[in-house]
Structure 1
Amino acid sequence: MSKFAEFLEKNPWRRNPWFETVGEAQRRASKRLPKSVYSSLIAGTQAGITVHDNVEAFNELGFAPHVVGATPDRNLTTTVMGQEISMPVMISPTGVQAVDPDGEVAVSRAAAARGTAMGLSSFASKPVEEVTAVNDKIFFQIYWLGGRDEVAARIERAREAGCKGLIVTTDWVFNIGRDWGSPEIPEQVDLKALAKMAPEIAVRPRYAMDWIRDGKVMIPDLSAPNLVDKGQQGPTFFGAYGQWMGTPPPTWDDLQWLREQWGGEFMVKGITRLDDAKRAVDIGATAISVSNHGGNNLDGTPATIRVLGPIADAVGEDLDVLLDGGIRRGSDVVKALAFGAKAVMIGRAYLFGLAANGQAGVENVLDLLRMGIDSTMMGLGKDDIADLDRSDLIIPEEFERVFGG
């Protein structure tokens, strides 16, 4: 170890090891990350109505606890897309994770250490092979980008890498502008970009220090290596984004073709309507995620927890129903399960953990959620997550939203 690396190890800027809430992880992330990077984590579209409602809607729900009958042990395990996981929480796919040098590989290791699965974005900054090498429960997420031949080549690479399922994301329109401004993220992190970001980095020295190893600057890779053949140089993130914007959106026939090409576990992500949920069943999907892209889609879409129950009632017997959007506590997970979800996927929550303390921070978030689920189950007098239902909740009138029937 060089003297500089020893200095980094001993200096007071290094991260504190443990945080007690996801909110504290977010606070630490805001203190460590440059303003533009942090803004990209928390941003929603337009007025931010949906990104706010995703979180706040959980607070409108109460619990109806039993005070006698708690059991000493509780079963939190479940099976999602054919994979048994230790608790009903898995990692949602998110694009380029430049909040930490190890990015998606660190997240994959954390998920494996806690016995759960991970969705890997096709816009990830790390090759799929590196991610599956440290976790054998990886689902590859894909956007409809390019022609069918390109899409087919992409999923074959994921199959060869050992991915256990495919997630197709359908829920994104291309809104321009946010009421509070959009973060400026460089096309490439080169010397010019670093100079421009210098004022931000100067007041967030820990972020810069994490990209320095043995006295050498480690430039974060903002390319998308999983959009090309293995070993090739992927397009920049914004180049890939532009290509996606230029590709006509998929039809249900396209999604059925994709499901047939994959031939295995297949999730449609982005469902908020009953009719779309039923169409996913019709094309042979094995899972859906009730999702509004974390508020980064069409602003004004209801919080996912508001639309989950009717969708789970309609198709929960036919496929795995998951929810993503707004999960910050283990009690939020329990509320989703009571409405009929088999599990939830977390996005911002683990990214805050990754930004706060790398792989250990992601493990920290997963531990917090596990403890929160377990303690909530104890309070409800339930010993198995499969036994949760609406009777465990206090649901305000007109809380749920039903549309597309």
Structure 2
Amino acid sequence: MSKPEWLSKVENPWKQNPWFESVAVAQERARKRLPAPVYGALVAGSERGQTIADNQAAFAEIGFAPHVAGHQPERSMATTVMGQQISLPVVISPTGVQAVHPDGEVAVARAAASRGTVMGLSNFASKSVEEVCAVNDQTFFQMYWTGDRDVMLQRMQRAKKAGAKGLIATLDWSFSMGRDWGSPEIPEKVDLRTMVRMAPQVATKARWLYQFGRAGTIPDLTAPNLAPPGQAKGPTFFGAYYEWMTTTPPTWEDVAWMREQWTQLSGMPFMLKGVCRVDDALRARDCGVTAISVSNHGGNNLDGTPATIRVIGPIADAVGHDVEVLMDGGVRRGSDVVKALALGARAVMIGRAYLWGLAANGEQGVGNVLDVLRSGIDSALLGMGLSSIDQLTPDLLVVPDGFVRALGVPADAPAPGVAPDAAPDPVHH
């Protein structure tokens, strides 16, 4: 769809100060800008929303123990994740079709590159792995366990050829939805009939329409990274979703196979995303993964799963000496990042936070979110008298009794915080 000549000459009548000082402000701007079904898809959790609520509320239960003097004039938050040097311990988590902005994942990848961090790209994304790797050479490609092994291997080969620096396997999905407040309507595809039917919901969001009009496009709900070899167009989001639902769930042997195939093909690191239990973390380690992300799919998996900040400590204690431990779920502030790191995370992954930034102000909005988190991390380090995120430890936090959820701890596991005698030095920051 070509852009009308007159539209390219129109000054944006909704121009405002684009900068925002918090992720909460970005969320509010996204709510005002986006059609209700699009915004609803970003905030929705599964069933009663217990897990999505706990993901955020749990952070507020943890406090800090700051110092009054002896603060450090310079503070470092640089680290590495799966071999990639990053300037702050925040990584872009892969999320599906990003129809909140015409540039979608390409805008996110550019913003991440400009702030010196990793881009996670979903294989359900609306932009191709080739487009994204071209603007951010620190891209990790994410795959679900969908299709047969030959199809999955072909997708790994494509990601490696495009320049992906790592693979993320997301396996935590129970298809438990049934939202109490109703699920937002997401069309199979955006065509003339769909636009006419949804016009009443979209017509009031003129700024959102204006963005796509300026770009000469319409929201794309297809998944190009799932296209068969030789085809540019991938299945629709629901076509991809159907493939996922009809694929036999993976075993631990399948996890090991996936890791082995990627390693043999690329020599690049492998992350397993979706771990909530100590026993699963131990099995992942035994499969040879480079990293795990402690995750409950942002509250979109099995509702009633505890907040990830509650479960990360026991998992980091169990496997943090052997694999890199990341965490995602409910991160909205730099102080949230610091709390996760103090409890054992190497870095955090963010999802909704950057999508709200993308909706609010495109590439600049995503960069704004990363800047907000960086500033919050720096403030927390300053207040606690630290010069580096490497110095973060649990004793700098105020953690209430009963906060931690140690799930699936083997009966013969060492006491929390005690590493096995033969364990190497911890893989931390």
8 Å Cα contact 1:157/1:230 also seen in 2: no
Pairing 1:3-22 to 2, within 5 Å after superposition: 3-7=6-10, 10-22=11-23
The two structures, once aligned, show a CA RMSD in angstroms of 1.1
- Mind listing any 5+ residue stretches in structure 2 that lack a counterpart? 410-429
| Number of the residue aligned with 2:234 | 234
Deviation of 1:187 (Å): 0.4
8 Å Cα contact 1:14/1:206 also seen in 2: no
Deviation of 1:12 (Å): 2.5
Q: Could you tell me how far apart the structure 1 residues matched to 2:160 and 2:8 are?
A: 39
Q: Could you tell me how far apart the structure 1 residues matched to 2:199 and 2:283 are?
A: 49
Q: Could you tell me how far apart the structure 1 residues matched to 2:68 and 2:317 are?
A: 29
- Mind listing any 5+ residue stretches in structure 1 that lack a counterpart? none
Pairing 1:86-97 to 2, within 5 Å after superposition: 86-97=87-98
Identify which of 328, 331, 351 aligns with 1:324: 328
Identify which of 274, 277, 280 aligns with 2:281: 277
| Number of the residue aligned with 1:253 | 253
Secondary structure (helix, strand or coil) at the match of 1:212 reads: helix
| Number of the residue aligned with 1:244 | 244
Deviations 1:101-140 (A, max 9, x none): 0000000000000000011000000010000000000000
8 Å Cα contact 1:77/1:88 also seen in 2: yes
Task: Read off the aligned partner of 1:370 and give its amino acid letter.
Answer: R
8 Å Cα contact 1:15/1:356 also seen in 2: no
Pairing 1:305-384 to 2, within 5 Å after superposition: 305-384=309-388
Secondary structure (helix, strand or coil) at the match of 2:9 reads: helix
Secondary structure (helix, strand or coil) at the match of 2:304 reads: coil
| Number of the residue aligned with 1:223 | 222
| Number of the residue aligned with 2:419 | none
Q: Could you tell me how far apart the structure 2 residues matched to 1:244 and 1:231 are?
A: 20
Q: Could you tell me how far apart the structure 1 residues matched to 2:79 and 2:13 are?
A: 41
Q: Could you tell me how far apart the structure 1 residues matched to 2:68 and 2:193 are?
A: 62
Q: Could you tell me how far apart the structure 2 residues matched to 1:97 and 1:281 are?
A: 32
8 Å Cα contact 1:54/1:303 also seen in 2: yes
Q: Could you tell me how far apart the structure 2 residues matched to 1:273 and 1:338 are?
A: 19
TM-score when normalising by structure 1: 0.97
Secondary structure (helix, strand or coil) at the match of 1:360 reads: helix
Deviation of 1:339 (Å): 0.1
- The reply on whether 1:288 has 2:292 as its aligned counterpart is yes
Secondary structure (helix, strand or coil) at the match of 1:133 reads: helix
8 Å Cα contact 1:91/1:118 also seen in 2: yes
Secondary structure (helix, strand or coil) at the match of 2:219 reads: coil
| Number of the residue aligned with 1:213 | 214
Task: Read off the aligned partner of 2:220 and give its amino acid letter.
Answer: D
| Number of the residue aligned with 1:128 | 129
| Number of the residue aligned with 1:394 | 398
Secondary structure (helix, strand or coil) at the match of 2:271 reads: strand
| Number of the residue aligned with 2:165 | 164
Deviation of 1:396 (Å): 0.2
Secondary structure (helix, strand or coil) at the match of 2:91 reads: strand
Task: Read off the aligned partner of 1:335 and give its amino acid letter.
Answer: K
8 Å Cα contact 1:15/1:357 also seen in 2: no
| Number of the residue aligned with 1:30 | 31
TM-score when normalising by structure 2: 0.92
Q: Could you tell me how far apart the structure 2 residues matched to 1:332 and 1:302 are?
A: 16
Q: Could you tell me how far apart the structure 1 residues matched to 2:158 and 2:230 are?
A: 7
Between the two proteins, the alignment pairs up a number of residues equal to 401
8 Å Cα contact 2:177/2:300 also seen in 1: no
Secondary structure (helix, strand or coil) at the match of 1:269 reads: strand
Deviation of 1:15 (Å): 4.8
| Number of the residue aligned with 1:147 | 148
Secondary structure (helix, strand or coil) at the match of 1:172 reads: coil
Q: Could you tell me how far apart the structure 1 residues matched to 2:147 and 2:15 are?
A: 43
Pairing 1:182-197 to 2, within 5 Å after superposition: 182-197=183-198
Q: Could you tell me how far apart the structure 2 residues matched to 1:329 and 1:101 are?
A: 26
Q: Percent of counterpart pairs with the same letter?
A: 63
Task: Read off the aligned partner of 2:309 and give its amino acid letter.
Answer: I
Deviation of 1:266 (Å): 0.5
1:199/1:231 CA distance change after superposition, 3 Å: same
Q: Could you tell me how far apart the structure 1 residues matched to 2:230 and 2:346 are?
A: 34
- The reply on whether 1:179 has 2:180 as its aligned counterpart is yes
8 Å Cα contact 1:80/1:343 also seen in 2: yes
Q: Could you tell me how far apart the structure 2 residues matched to 1:128 and 1:11 are?
A: 31
Deviation of 1:86 (Å): 0.2
1:176/1:346 CA distance change after superposition, 3 Å: closer
Deviations 1:194-228 (A, max 9, x none): 111111111111010001027x4x12211111012
